[in-house]
Amino acid sequence: DARVTQTPRHKVTEMGQEVTMRCQPILGHNTVFWYRQTMMQGLELLAYFRNRAPLDDSGMPKDRFSAEMPDATLATLKIQPSEPRDSAVYFCASGLDRGKYFGPGTRLTVT
């Protein structure tokens, strides 16, 4: 049963530290999305890739966030420096032209 995997599942870090979250999409999927979910804002699209190319990252604060897809089996989301307001659950989703299948998420807490 193919699944999207994300690591780490939980991360607690201090303000100012760099955070890297990783996602392994389902093999064969050509689209990868990064979302952030908070109680206040709900689910927000941060960035997405199609065939490893970044197509839209307008939802991402560019000064501190970056998203890459170094190969077809790995997508990364990096925050540097992290801030308390970045505390959220970060989901990766993959699919064929759509991000239909979500990973379990990374719960990030920035103190």
> Which spans of this chain sit near other proteins (rule: CB under 8 A)?
33, 42-45, 48, 50, 55-56, 91, 98-105
Cβ 22 to other proteins, closest distance in Å?
15
Q: Which is nearer to other proteins, 9 or 14 (CB)?
A: 9
Cβ 52 to other proteins, closest distance in Å?
15
Cβ 15 to other proteins, closest distance in Å?
27
Burial of 72 per CB tally in 10 Å (0-12, 13-18, 19+): middle
Q: Which is nearer to other proteins, 76 or 102 (CB)?
A: 102
Longest dimension (CA), the chain: 38
Report helix, strand or coil for 84.
helix
Q: Which of 35, 104, 33, 28 is nearest to 69 (CA)?
A: 33
